[in-house]
Structure 1
Amino acid sequence: MSLDLPGYAHAYSGKVRDLYTPLVGDVARDDQILLVASDRISAYDFVLDSVIPDKGKVLTQLSLWWFEQLADLVPNHVISTDVPDAVAGRAVLVERLEMAPVECVARGYLTGSGLADYQRSGVVSGVSLPDGLVDGSRLPDPIFTPSTKAPLGEHDEPISYDEVVAEVGAPLAQQLRDLTIAILKRGNEIAEKRGIILADTKVEFGQRPDGTLVLADEVLTPDSSRFWPADSYAPGGPQPSYDKQFVRDWLTSPASGWDKSSGEAPPPLPDEVVDKTRAKYVEAYESLTGRRFD
């Protein structure tokens, strides 16, 4: 997964991103990281053999645009977009932070794993919801539904707000909850003007040495969020989407021949699915930003 980038040492590779440490001579800096978004795509806790062309650039450029829209709510980790040519357009130099040990998720609509939890118990991450909600229902108010940060290849598990308090303390837990919901609300305010619904999102936060909370990784992208076209929104079933739900749907269809419960890795994506998925990512970028993806 790693690239040969002069002046940088490979530090870590996740599902989608690769981290490199800047070098001063032969010494690694301890305050900065080069964050590179690959074209890899993951689904159901597997990194697929197929890649989505330009996906890394779409995610990076869209995150940079959103960081600008959110700058008055929370500082972000970006230091510079001056990066090696080999990763131009899909990498940023960022602050090295002490990352919060929980996944911060906010939901404005009920779907996905939140829907499954609701159907079992009427509760999502410790939050009781009204009776009668269906797939795609808009929630009375956005809710904070955090989860554990599982190692690569394992499942994140939903946790309650009280468990976040036990993990990080009440002051930081409240900041994480309030900022996550504020980002979802701001994202929806902007997306709705462009005919798009932001159903839910996952964000990452880290702390500077002085304790300042900083927005990190990616934000409001098709990898971390569910975006639905507003003109086709109809509660009661799955919604058309701009995100990688298209990939998930193919993997769980008879066409893939893959059994989600088998424990085996999914098959490669057909060219048609790859092309349509790339088009979805590009469409999301262009619809949200009003810019042409080049």
Structure 2
Amino acid sequence: MASTLLMTNLQDLTLILREKEHDVYHTSSEDLLLFITTGRILVFNGILKDGDPDKGKILTRISLFWFEKLKGVVPDHHTMANTDKMPKEKAKVIPIEFIVQGYLTGPAWVEYKRTGTMHRMPLPQGMVKSQQLHQPLVTSLMKAEQGTHDENAFLDRAGQLIGSKLYTCIAEIALKLYSTAAKYAYSCGLILTDSSEDEVVLVDKALTPDSLHYFLSINTFFEPLYIPGKPQPALTSQYERDWLVSVGCCKHMESGPGGNSKGWGVNEAIIQGMQGRYSEAEEMLKNESPKA
């Protein structure tokens, strides 16, 4: 298996945090930050002992694509992938993650089956898994300390933390980002089921299949693949999660010694399968002749 960058150690720079796939450093300027996307695999809030050697490269390229595609919607922190070019200002991260849900999938589907709601918001009865919502809805999470789980952040609580005016502003931006990206992705044969944004300025990774779900809407013969209520062919990190669950991995496991989740790892075939899914998403998004 090819070598994988799991941890960085830039001795000339000050490490701020290791967060999921990213290592973030202060630079020689107090206004500048360096984001490094590693090959770490995070499942159920734990870092696996094995990594993906190409993951950081693919996720970075997809993020750069979306930064360019969405630059007319909201400013972002990025100037160039070249470290010789630096941003004018350092982004101040708002400790709330805004999630735009366009389809009933993932944790939203789990909640709906139990209570008929999504993030405490009532939904129509009789909906099926992966069904498109009547209109996209914004939910949010309180960003937790590293190594702990994020928590639901409802409007009253989130408003107390950052102010209701700022909350409403970011929610509107998140909806616009999702709608713009989802429309383009659909023209490429992909269904963007959800999107998460943390800030008024878009930072970190942007709309990558590692952090949200892309469903395939059509196959290579232009035949429809998306059928509500059925399992969806998807280009997402859920592939790794499903395999780990099949071999006994469980939710809420905490990181063990060295940051590894109790020794859990994935074999090379699974890593190659994930690389193929990430690469396919990238190729479809960058297709010069999207399918209308």
The equivalent residue for 1:36 is 36
Structure 1 position 258 matched with structure 2 position 249:
yes
Q: Equivalent residue for 2:146?
A: 152
Spell out the pairing of 1:261-276 with structure 2 (5 A cutoff).
265=262, 267-276=264-273
TM-score, L = length of structure 1: 0.85
Distance in 2, matches of 1:145 and 1:114, equals 10
Counterpart Cα distance in 2 of 1:38 and 1:15:
9
Partner residue of 2:133? 139
Shift of 1:4: 3.0
Whether the 8 Å contact between 2:102 and 2:136 is mirrored in structure 1 is yes
Flag the 1:237–1:148 CA change in 2: closer, same or farther, 3 A. Answer: farther
Deviation at 1:9, TM superposition (A): 3.0
Residue 100 of structure 2 is matched in structure 1 by 106
Name the count of aligned residue pairs: 269
Instruction: Pick from 256, 268, 282 the counterpart of residue 285 of structure 1.
Output: 282
Shift of 1:269: 0.2
1:221 corresponds to: 208
Map Cα deviations across residues 159-209 of structure 1 (whole Å, 9 max, x no partner): 22332222211210111111111111111110011110000111221xxxx
Task: Give the counterpart letter for 1:4 in structure 2.
Answer: L
Decide whether aligned partners of structure 1 residues 47 and 237 sit closer, same or farther in structure 2, where only a CA change above 3 A counts: farther
8 Å contact kept, 1:79–1:93: yes
**CA deviation profile, 1:48-106 (whole Å, cap 9, x unmatched):** 1111121111111111111111111100001332228xxxxxxx855422211111110
Aligned amino acid, residue 268 of structure 1: G
- Tell me what 1:179 maps to: 173
Equivalent residue for 1:230? Answer: 217
Residue matched to 1:243:
236
- Taking every aligned residue pair, what percent have the same amino acid on both sides? 31
Secondary structure of 2:152's partner? coil
Q: Structure 1 stretches (4+) deviating beyond 6 angstroms?
A: none
Equivalent position of 1:54 in the other structure: 54
- Given residue 252 of structure 1, which amino acid in structure 2 is its aligned partner? V
Find 2:123's aligned residue among 123, 129, 136. Answer: 129
Q: Do 1:39 and 1:53's aligned partners in 2 also have CA atoms closer than 8 Å?
A: yes
| Residue in structure 1 matched with residue 222 of structure 2 by the alignment | none
Contact 1:109–1:136 at 8 Å: present in 2 too?
Answer: yes
Secondary structure in 2 matching 1:275 = helix
Q: Is the 8 A contact 1:148 1:156 kept in 2?
A: yes
More moved, 147-156 vs 44-53:
147-156
Give the C-alpha shift of residue 220 in structure 1.
0.7
Q: Does 1:18 align with 2:23?
A: yes
Distance 1:67 1:187 in 2: 11
User: Partners in 2 of 1:219 and 1:100 — Cα distance?
Assistant: 16
CA contact (8 A) 2:102 2:135 kept: yes
How far the C-alpha of 1:5 sits from its partner, in A, is 6.2
AA aligned opposite 1:221: T
Contact 1:203 1:224 in 2 (8 A): no
Letter of the 1:257 counterpart: G
Residue equivalent to 2:9: 3
Residue 267 to residue 69, structure 1, CA distance change in 2 (3 Å): same
Structure 2-normalised TM-score? 0.86
Cα contact 1:16–1:40 (8 A) shared by 2: yes
Bigger relative contact order (CA 8 A; separation at least 6): 2
SS at match of 1:40: coil
Q: Secondary structure at the match of 1:35?
A: strand
Residue 270 of structure 1 aligns with an amino acid whose one-letter code is: N
